[in-house]
A = this chain, B = another copy of it.
Amino acid sequence: MYSFRNDYSEGAHPQVLEALCRYNLEQNTGYGLDVHSAHAADHIRELCACPGAAVHFISGGTQTNMLLISSCLRPFQAVIAAETGHIHVHETGAVEASGHKILAVAASDRTDPDTAGKLTPEDIRTICTAHADEHMVQPALVYISDSTELGTIYRRQELAALHEVCKELGLWLFLDGARLGSALTCPENDLTLADIAALTDAFYIGGTKNGALYGEALVLVNPALQKDFRYAIKNRGAMLAKGFTIGIQFEALLTGRLYFELAEHANRLAAKLTEALVGLDCEFYAPSPTNQVFPILPDTVCTRLAEEFQFETQKQLKDGRSAVRFVTSWATPEEAVDHLIAVLSELLAG
Contacts and interface: CB of A to CB of B under 8 A. Distances in A.
23 contacts: A2-B27, A11-B23, A61-B241, A65-B237, A76-B92, A76-B235, A77-B231, A90-B135, A92-B134, A92-B136, A92-B231, A92-B234, A93-B101, A93-B137, A96-B99, A96-B100, A96-B137, A99-B99, A134-B230, A134-B231, A134-B233, A214-B240, A214-B241
Given A27-B3, A71-B74, A213-B242, A89 B136 contact: yes
Interface string A61-92: 11101110011001111100000000001111
Q: How many copies of this chain? A: 4
Interface stretch (A14-22, A273-281, A317-325): A14-22
Contacts of A66: 237
Contacts of A137: 92-93, 96, 231, 235
A98 B74 CA distance: 12
Q: Which 10 A-B pairs have the closest CB atoms?
A: A63-B237, A11-B24, A76-B235, A92-B234, A76-B231, A93-B137, A134-B230, A96-B101, A93-B101, A9-B27
A339 to B, nearest CB: 14
Contact of A91 (B20, B135, B208, B331): B135
A75 to B, nearest CB: 5
A98 B76 contact: no
Interface of A: 2-3, 5-6, 8-12, 14, 17, 20-21, 23-31, 59-63, 65-67, 70-71, 74-78, 89-94, 96-102, 106, 134-138, 208-209, 213-214, 228, 230-242, 245, 331
Contacts of A106: 106
A122 to B, nearest CB: 15
Contacts of A91: 135, 234, 237
Contacts of A214: 59, 214, 240-242, 245
B138 A213 contact: no
A17 B102 CA distance: 40
Contacts of A76: 92-93, 97, 228, 231-232, 234-235
